[in-house]
Amino acid sequence: MIQSRHVGRAKVTRVVEYSAPTHDPAFLFPDLTQTELDSFSDLLAPNHYVPEMNRLIITIQIWVVQIDDKVILIDTGVGNDKPRTAPRMRNLNNRVGEWLEAAGASFENVTHVIQTHMHSDHTGWNTMLKDGNWVPAFPNARYLMPKTDFDYWNQAIEEKPDMAMDNSWGDSVTPVVEAGVVDFIEDDAGKILDCLTVEPVPGHTPGMLSYRLESDGEEALFCADVFHSPVQILKPELNTAYCVLPEVARDTRKRVLEEACERRILLMPMHFGVPCCGYIQKTENGYRFEGAEWP
């Protein structure tokens, strides 16, 4: 599935790898009680939560930004043929390549692949399997990776396995590093590619970055996994089971919510159900998510 909209003169397209009621709320959000979730049900169903199944709808998608002569991917999903532990991610055989080409982002014409952080569901299409080897999927692209996050995981996975990495380092990260196509982004990099501003959003991972797109007076924020689900907008103190720095993640979430509401920024998270992007509305008791319909 692909859908496109414009942010100023930039064309932004979402390419969906999959979207389904896959996650047990008690697993993804260990501190969320069923009573609290039930109280949010009317605000979450049917696009983000299926009460009858008691499952959260989680999307894996790739954002495509086309502006001037650049074709930029922001995160690359799970990827095909990856030997993951989670059944929903194991050995996928999806048609993402065709969807990307339909969006104007074929393997050959992508100019930049940008990572928000290094979890396995954000790096998978960095590579593809060719003659038994993992090779860069986008042969003409530079891959931009957050240095702080890369350095953290490069050491952490040597010390012990991590369920959010799920053996992805060897098949989705190392091959592009060894191919010499990676540039590392510092936390204070500022504006990159003449169109995106780097903004650190640590907590979920130590070096996670968001990217602010500003064009012709319009503004969008590719906010990575600051929010996995709109339930974290209703209850901002709620962390996922994957958050490495819990208190930092809460502070980051609060800051992003305040700014997004004040400036009415279009948020582009990675994992929301349809319409997958939207705005933050202030309420009497906090905040809520207002989905932005696609043209």
| Amino acid, single-letter form, for residue 20 | A
Per-residue pLDDT tens over the stretch 20-48: 999 999 999 999 999 999 999 999 999 99
What is the model's pTM? 0.96
With H, G, I as helix, E, B as strand and everything else as coil, classify residue 227: coil
Task: Give the pLDDT score at 187.
Answer: 97
Task: Give the pLDDT score at 98.
Answer: 97
pLDDT < 50 regions, the chain: none
Q: What angle is formed at CA 158 by the lines to CA 153 and CA 160, rounded to 5 degrees?
A: 90
Per-residue pLDDT tens over the stretch 238-264: 999 999 999 999 999 999 999 999 999
Q: CB 248: neighbour CB atoms within 10 A?
A: 17
Pick from 212, 72, 65, 78: which is nearest to 141 by CA?
A: 72
Token pair of 255 as six digits: 């800051």
